[in-house]
Structure 1
Amino acid sequence: MAGHGTDGHPHGADRLCEAGDRVYSRAVRRGRVPRVEADAVPCLLELALLHPDPDDMAWLVPTSPQEVMTRLLRGVYDEVSASQRRMGSAVAAFEWYAGLGPLPQNAVGEGSAIRVLDGLSRIQAAMDTATDACTTEVLTVQPGGIRPEHELTEGLHRAMALRGRGVRMRDLYTHVARHGQGLLTYLELMGDAVEARTLEEVIDRLILFDRTVAFIPANADRTLALELRHPALVQYLVTVFERLWRLAIPLTAPLPETGIEGISYRERSIAALLAEGHQDAVIAERLGISVRTCRAHIARLSETLGAASRTQLGVRIAQVGLIGPARGADVSPSPAMRLPDPGSRTVR
């Protein structure tokens, strides 16, 4: 709503400045506008009303008015709903609690080292507080596959505010996230304030602010979270992040080669997990892809390796060396390993 944007354009998508109104209206009518026309109205990019045309980065295309309206109405609805809940329960509830007597000395309060956050609204409120207090660094681990564009859009305002305060951000994703245009657009808008790397697999979601407070999920559907402020726990998570970061590949660098002709990097990852005995659903979750996509890759692996069964596929995965680590992108390439002849005795 109101309050977002640059210093020169302090407004939200529901109340555009005059210059922003002209450029956005022109973009909606024509389907796109040259990037130079938006130089004087950075608010349109910060509010995600315009975004780069994937086919020609010199042009900007508009977010549909229907999508913008849905986003605004959702925010208004959330604000009204939250206010109604507070008005309906706060006074009665806390007057009743106050009458129960003094709290014990070890009661959990706002300054606790470990705090359970129950419900998405409370989680978001705690995250907003930590974001507002952040001054130097944000580290995040984002599991799963391609990030939904609405998630990236909703997080863009907070990220822009952090960038405006000079906060540096480092994000870890799975390799699958490389295929999402929304993530590439988000990183382009953020510039050098955000650095992103990818891994085959990452740990569950983790967000660290200034190396003093961390947030992690506390259940599978992420309706519960833990806010951690204990120095030892936070430092442990920072160490985990830094070690994963060192192993990860910059988003701007190519993925390592498999060294085996006809086998893609993702298929190599699936092959390694198959060799460990994991089921399709587990492999899909760990690599951030759908079960259907996972099974399609397994079928292609079986065809490429000439395997007629899952058992035979496991044998051939081991024979061609797909279980070992992939060769790094900075290593001089060697001749591609040849797959065994499906008709030879060694693979029967």
Structure 2
Amino acid sequence: MPRRDAGPVPCLLDLALLHPDPDDMDWLVPTSPQEVMTRLLRGLYDEVSASQRRVGSAVTAFEWYADLGQRRLAPAAAEGTSIRVLDGLARIQAAMDEATQACTTEVLTVQPGGIRREHELSEGLHRALALRGRGVRMRDLYTHVARHGQGLLNYLELMGDAVEARTLDEVIDRLILFDRTVAFVPANTDRTMALELRHPALVEYLVTVFERLWRLALPLTAPLPDTGIEGISHRERSIAALLAEGHQDAVIAERLGISVRTCRAHIARLSETLGAASRTQLGVRIAQTGLDALPGSSAPVGAPGGRGTPTAR
């Protein structure tokens, strides 16, 4: 049914009897019986956490009904749970908490953006501490800019050797993988919706993406490689390569996790260092000095005399 038609009957969404269609989020589709039972049980658990006896009875009832529903489901309906749309921050949080409780070995995350704010780090701190307490290993990927945030450094110090962090010039959008069996990715730009992925092929693909980025990344404690060009920092080299690709300032800032103002300040320093009086001339100088190749790229470097050697990572 169209999403707008559910407005007069909010309980259909509140009880998760309907959920957004992954292929078209303007439409709602029925939720499988065992998934509805799971949600109702979670709410019941929160309300009666003081009564272990009642919770135990509810779990027993849930298992019986879930098994019954599973036998009656058509195969196609059962497969639909491999991609689940989580609509709203509360549902995303609940699903993440559930995955955290089930996790036993490993969590992989990609955290885009720049310096991590305190509230962003504290949001998932309870999950991270619970994972550390069970001996779960965590690996996190950030942008290089995140190195400058004291909050991240404090978080890593608190977590100790349970967390290993590395950084790149730019990373993909947010990704969280639990035990290589379930993944969470944003479903819209403001991250008020997410996709919970349990399809083995999709999860394996995302694990492969993470592992390849991880091999390219630098440990958080390792210094950034020198550009080989006097007066040009590693970040300015990254900006130069993205300028050479034709990206606008706002796009470059977003990809590198910095503000537009900071990005433009770096561009101004690049122009001054390379002696460029205009954006067009800056593009020419970037190509001449070999800065049009991203750090770590094997692309050929430009003219003699001003060339820099890209550093493999």
- Say yes or no: TM over 0.5: yes
The residue number in structure 2 matching 1:166 is: 135
1:182 aligned partner: 151
Which secondary structure state, in structure 2, belongs to the residue aligned with residue 208 of structure 1?
Answer: strand
Contact 1:259 1:327 in 2 (8 A): no
The 3 A distance-change label for structure 1 pair 93 and 267 is closer
How far the C-alpha of 1:162 sits from its partner, in A, is 0.3
Mapped partners of 2:246, 2:16: distance in 1: 56
The one-letter amino acid of 1:147's match is R
1:284 aligned residue: 253
Q: TM-score, length-normalised on structure 2?
A: 0.71
Deviation string 1:262-292 (CA, Å, 9 cap, x unpaired) is 0000000000000010000110010000111
In the alignment, residue 178 of structure 1 is paired with which amino acid? R
TM-aligned CA deviation for residue 135 of structure 1? 0.5
Q: How does 1:264-275 map to 2 (within 5 A)?
A: 264-275=233-244
Q: Quote how far apart the aligned CAs of 1:151 are.
A: 1.3
Would the alpha carbon gap of residues 264 and 90 (structure 1) be closer, same or farther in structure 2, given more than 3 Å must change? same
- Identity of matched residues, %: 81
Tell me by how many angstroms 1:105 deviates. 3.4
Paired residues of 2:237 and 2:294 also in contact (CA < 8 A): no
Whether the 8 Å CA contact 1:141–1:202 is kept in 2: the answer is yes
Identify if the C-alpha distance between structure 1 residues 95 and 124 changes in structure 2 by more than 3 Å, giving closer, same or farther: closer
Query: 2:249–2:263: 8 Å Cα contact kept in structure 1?
Result: yes
Equivalence for 2:277: 308
1:157 positional shift: 1.8
Question: Out of 127, 130, 152, which is 2:96 matched to?
Answer: 127
Q: Secondary structure at the match of 1:112?
A: helix
State whether structure 2 residue 269 is matched by structure 1 residue 262: no
Contact 1:261 1:338 in 2 (8 A): no
What is the distance in 1 between the residues matched to 2:102 and 2:15? Answer: 27
**Contact kept in structure 1, 2:271 and 2:277, CA below 8 Å:** yes
Q: What SS does the aligned partner of 2:171 have? A: coil
Q: Distance in 1 between matches of 2:86 and 2:165?
A: 28
Change (3 A) 1:153 1:92: closer
Task: Judge conservation of contact 2:100–2:127 (CA < 8 Å) in 1.
Answer: yes
CA–CA distance in 1 between the matches of 2:125 and 2:151? 11
The letter for the 1-side match of 2:158 is L
The gaps in structure 1 that reach 5 residues or longer are 1-87, 329-336, 341-348
CA distance, structure 2, for counterparts of residue 105 and residue 232 of structure 1: 21
CA deviation after TM superposition for structure 1 residue 230, in Å: 0.5
**Offset, 1:154:** 2.5
Aligned residue in 2 for 1:199: 168
Q: Match for residue 250 of structure 1? A: 219
In structure 1, what is the equivalent of residue 268 of structure 2?
Answer: 299
Where does residue 37 of structure 2 map in the other structure?
Answer: none
1:1-348 equivalent positions in 2, closer than 5 A:
105=74, 112-326=81-295, 339=306
Offset of residue 107 of structure 1: 7.4
Paired residue total:
242
Distance 2:249 2:273 in 1: 18
Partner-residue secondary structure (3-state), 2:221: coil
In the aligned structure 2, how far is the partner of 1:156 from the partner of 1:323? Answer: 39
Change (3 A) 1:91 1:258: closer
Cα deviation for residue 150 of structure 1 reads 1.3
Q: CA RMSD in A?
A: 2.8
* Residue pair 1:140, 1:171 contacting (<8 A) in 2 also: yes
